[in-house]
Each structure stands twice: as C-alpha cells, then as structure tokens.
C-alpha cells in the first residue's frame, strides 16, 4: 500500500487510537494493584471491567504470567492465587468494534530490576528504528543487542505481531532477534512490538495449564451447555481469545472440553521458560507513519 493510499485519520485508525488510549489508562491503574498478597483474579477482573467501563472490550483475557511464565496465563474460575515476591508480566488487550490495541508491562516484586530494564530498553530501541521501509529483522537485531548487553537472552520463539480487525495476531511477525529476511513495514501498518528478556535459555515451551481459548471453526454440537457456550463465543468474542471464566453456561470447563474435542475451539497453553528462570516483557502498539511511528498505548 502506498503512502497516498493510507488515510491515518480514517475511522479504523481512530478506533485503534481509542483502544490504545483506554488501554494505557487501564494498564497504569492495574499496575498499582499488583502487590504482594493481592489476588490474581481480582486484578484481572478489575482490568477487564475497567476496559468495559471506559468504552472498550477486552481483546483477550488479561494475562498474568509469573516468574518463568511468559504468556497465556490467566486466572481460572474461583482462582485464589495471590502475588508473592515474584516477577509478574501483565498483558492486556482492548478492542473498539474489533480494532485492537495490545500492551504489556512487567511488575518486578522479585528484586531483579535489570531484567525488567532489559525488556523496557529493548522496546525503546525498537521504537527508535520504526519507519516505513524498515525490515523487521533490523528491529529484531536492535532488541537482541539491547538484551544481550544486559547479559540476558531474548525469547526467540515469541514475537511481536500485526493487529487486524477482530484478529489479535496477523502478519508481520516482529522477531526478538536478528533475522536475515524479515518483512518490510509500510505506512499504515498497525503492529505490537513485545520484547521478552530472560535469564534462561531463550526458548519457551508449552505447559500443562490452559485457561484461554479461541474459536477454531464454525460447527454444531448437541450438548446443551456446549451449545450455549458456542453461541456466546460466536456472538461476543468472535475470533478473539476468551477465558473459561468468561463463559456464562453451566459447567463451562466441561463445555469447553466438548468443543475442543470436536475441533471447534483451540486452547492456548501457558508458555514458559525452564522452572527457576525469570521472564520480563514490555509491549506497545503503534501505527507506522510517514516519518516514524505513533505509539497508541503510551
């Protein structure tokens, strides 16, 4: 798409901006509630409810990833987990009529400020090189250089990503390391850049826990509870991720098992480094402009 074909004041971009403005406020309010002894569930529900109060909708369940966890951890129904002296990544998404913003921040209660600083500074370095025509491999190189400079490793199998209409992850991928051939950013691209830094090996694997799901395909199901859950999913969440605790049907866990067994929904297992390692994360959403970028989640 050429620069002349992009109207960055169109309704689409205004809704991306509105989502980002809501998200920035909710992120700051949520961070203030993350402290030793606070409830994971109460913090997540506060953020999700606040998004709705401000005129948006959650684009995905609030992720609360602790210590070696990197992504896809969210409280379960009735979760009684509380924060300890840990490293906590809080990842929040907002959409306005399907146009998204995505942000994340690390709250360090573990006493490892340099690891938190590594992902923060890597994001700043990445933002500095954003402009039309930049190769995403160059962005990854900036992220990798900063994190390496702190003596840590980037998580290489997690990436930033594009944001589409009702799509949380689209092209282009934004790597967290140098790659020889990436994609080229263009004016009007909406992307989320999210460096992950770790004192581990730099590759996450899937854990056993799974509380986040998304619609895989349309389908029919006989079970009443599963059918009610599917109606809510298709009407309310569409293709965006949702949490088990969001479902209004009886026995939602059983309903989801039935839907998953029939390949109607898929799950997102928690992604994690090795036990005993720590992961930090910082993320912003931006719009590529003619002279650089506009961060929507500041």
75-88 pLDDT, tens per residue?
Answer: 999 999 999 999 99
Task: Examine the residue annotation and report whether 102 is marked as an active-site residue of this protein.
Answer: yes
Question: Is 266 annotated for ligand binding?
Answer: no
Task: Examine the residue annotation and report whether 169 is marked as an active-site residue of this protein.
Answer: yes
The stretch 229-258 carries a mean pLDDT of 97
Task: Examine the residue annotation and report whether 194 is marked as an active-site residue of this protein.
Answer: yes
Q: Kindly report the average pLDDT of the chain as a whole number.
A: 96
Task: Examine the residue annotation and report whether 161 is marked as an active-site residue of this protein.
Answer: yes
For residue 61, what are the contacts with CB-CB under 8 A and spacing of at least 6? 44, 48, 74, 211, 212, 241, 242, 243, 245, 246
For residue 91, what are the contacts with CB-CB under 8 A and spacing of at least 6? 62, 63, 65, 71, 102, 103, 104, 281, 283
Look up the pTM and report it. 0.95
Among the listed residues 48, 225, 273, 283, the single catalytic one is: 283
The two structure tokens encoding residue 279: 């992961």
Among the listed residues 16, 40, 161, 284, the single catalytic one is: 161
Does 159 have pLDDT greater than 80?
Answer: yes
Question: Is 161 annotated for ligand binding?
Answer: yes
pLDDT digits (tens, 9 = 90+) for 249-276: 999 999 999 999 999 999 999 999 999 9
Check residue 6 and give its pLDDT: 84
Task: Examine the residue annotation and report whether 284 is marked as an active-site residue of this protein.
Answer: no
Among the listed residues 48, 102, 142, 189, the single catalytic one is: 102
Task: Examine the residue annotation and report whether 283 is marked as an active-site residue of this protein.
Answer: yes
Question: Is 189 annotated for ligand binding?
Answer: no
Does 4 have pLDDT greater than 60?
Answer: no
Question: Is 248 annotated for ligand binding?
Answer: no
CATH number of 3-204+273-295: 3.90.230.10
Among the listed residues 21, 57, 67, 91, the single catalytic one is: 91
Does 3 have pLDDT greater than 80?
Answer: no
């Amino acid at each position: 798409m050429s620069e002349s074909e992009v109207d960055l004041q169109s309704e689409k971009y205004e809704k991306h901006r509105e989502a980002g403005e809501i998200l920035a406020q909710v992120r700051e309010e949520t961070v203030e509630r993350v402290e030793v002894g606070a409830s994971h569930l109460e913090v997540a529900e506060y953020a999700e409810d606040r998004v709705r109060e401000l005129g948006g909708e959650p684009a995905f369940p609030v992720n609360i990833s602790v210590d070696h966890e990197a992504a896809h951890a969210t409280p379960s129904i009735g979760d009684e987990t509380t924060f300890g002296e840990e490293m906590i990544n809080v990842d929040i998404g907002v959409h306005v009529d399907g146009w998204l913003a995505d942000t994340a921040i690390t709250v360090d209660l573990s006493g490892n400020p340099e690891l938190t600083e590594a992902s923060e500074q890597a994001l700043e370095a990445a933002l500095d090189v954003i402009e039309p025509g930049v190769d995403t491999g160059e962005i990854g190189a900036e992220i990798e250089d900063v994190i390496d400079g702190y003596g840590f490793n980037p998580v290489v199998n997690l990436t930033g990503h594009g944001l589409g209409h009702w799509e949380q992850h689209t092209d282009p991928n934004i790597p967290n390391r140098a790659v020889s051939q990436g994609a080229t950013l263009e004016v009007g691209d909406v992307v989320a850049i999210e460096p992950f830094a770790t004192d581990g090996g730099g590759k996450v694997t899937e854990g056993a826990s799974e509380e986040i799901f998304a619609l895989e395909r349309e389908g029919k199901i006989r079970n009443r509870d599963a059918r009610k859950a599917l109606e809510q999913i298709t009407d309310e969440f569409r293709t965006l991720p949702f949490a088990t605790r969001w479902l209004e049907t009886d026995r939602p866990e059983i309903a989801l098992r039935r839907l998953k067994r029939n390949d109607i929904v898929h799950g997102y297992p928690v992604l994690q480094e090795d036990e005993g390692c720590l992961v930090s994360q910082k993320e912003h959403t931006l719009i590529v402009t003619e002279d650089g970028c506009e961060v929507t989640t500041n």
